[in-house]
Every structure is written in C-alpha cells, then in structure tokens.
A = this chain, B = another copy of it.
Amino acid sequence: MPDAHEHRHLSAEDLAALLLERPGVLVRRLHQIHSAMFAEECAIFGVTPVQYSLLSLVAASPGLDQGGAAAALRLDRFTTADVIKRLVAARLLRVAAGVDRRTRRLQLTPDGAEVLAAMQPSAGRAHDRLVEPLPPRERAALLRMLKRLVDRHAALGATAPKVR
C-alpha cells in the first residue's frame, strides 16, 4: 500500500518552474531579486528602495506635500506617512507646515541631500543589474512593456502588498 506521506519526487527546481509559469509569481520574484540587489549595493546607507524613491522625489520637487508624495509613489497615505516618519527619524527629511498651514511640506535635510547623492551610483547599479542579463535591445523592449502595464493598471494597488 502506498505511504500517505509519499513524496512524489518533483525537485525544488521542477516545483519552482511550475510557479514561474505564472506572471504574478515572476513579478513577485523579480521584486525580491531587486530588493536583494538594492540591499547588497546600498546596505551601508540604511535606506530602503521606497525611502530612496521618496528622497529622489523630494530632491526633484522640494516642498512636495505628503499627498503628492503618496500619489507619486503610488502608496496609500498610511504607508507614505510611515516612510516619512522613518526618514525624519533618520534626519534625512524634514517636514514643515505649508503656507496654508494644513499641508505638510517635505524638504531634504543637508544630511538627506548628501546621502541621496552618495547613494546614487549604488542604487543605479542595483537597477542596472536587474536587467543586465538581457541584450540591450531586449532590455529596452522589456522596460517599454513593463511601463505599458504599469500605465494601464495605474488605478490599482496603492497598498503595500502582503509578503506572507
């Protein structure tokens, strides 16, 4: 009689390949890979990818308010407020009341500007390494297709996804 606990001996590689037929799994996996690359390249700065994005936004648009940051990051206000809180605690960002006193305007601190500038080569490497295995022409095609998908689905997914 067959053992109920019998293991059908599909290898981890076969099983991983089974999951990688699914577009969402490919994207989840690539996001993991990029996060790991970013962590490798940028560990000494103690800044996460989303924090780096926010610092870039404030550098491009000093005085950006919290709602504008949330919209540009495509994150909900709660998550955005939390990212801001962490960057303020790290003294990379400061928050000032706007002219109308109700909006909270974001500015880089001198440390924030310095860290952002120092990080740029490392963060750039993390982005470049992700697509490096493809020949340059395919790289451009891939980015164009990914952008198209992100644009078409722009209304979706403003909440940080569950990872478990």
Whether B26 pairs with A150 at a CB distance below 8 angstroms is yes
Size category of the A interface is 35 or more
One digit per residue, 1 when the CB lies within 8 angstroms of any chain B CB and 0 when it does not, for chain A 43-76 equals 0000011110100110011111100100111100
Q: Least Cβ distance of A139 to chain B in Å?
A: 8
In the complex, what residues of B have CB within 8 A of residue A134's CB? Answer: 145, 148-149
Whether B16 pairs with A27 at a CB distance below 8 angstroms is no
In the complex, what residues of B have CB within 8 A of residue A27's CB? Answer: 27, 30-31, 34, 130, 146
- A23-B143, A148-B134, A150-B20 are contacts. A64–B7 as well, Cβ < 8 Å? yes
Whether A127 pairs with B160 at a CB distance below 8 angstroms is no
In the complex, what residues of B have CB within 8 A of residue A117's CB? Answer: none
A26 to B29, CA, bound (A): 13
- Residue among A18, A23, A36, A68 with most chain B CB within 10 A: A23
| Interface positions of A (Cβ within 8 A of B) | 3-10, 12, 15-16, 18-20, 22-38, 48-51, 53, 56-57, 60-65, 68, 71-74, 79, 82-83, 86, 96, 98-99, 105, 107, 126-128, 130-131, 133-134, 138, 141-143, 145-150, 152-153, 156-164
If A24-B35, A26-B147 are given as contacts, then 8 extra A-B residue pairs at C-beta distance below 8 Å, sorted by A number, are: A5-B96, A7-B61, A10-B61, A12-B72, A29-B74, A30-B150, A134-B149, A142-B145
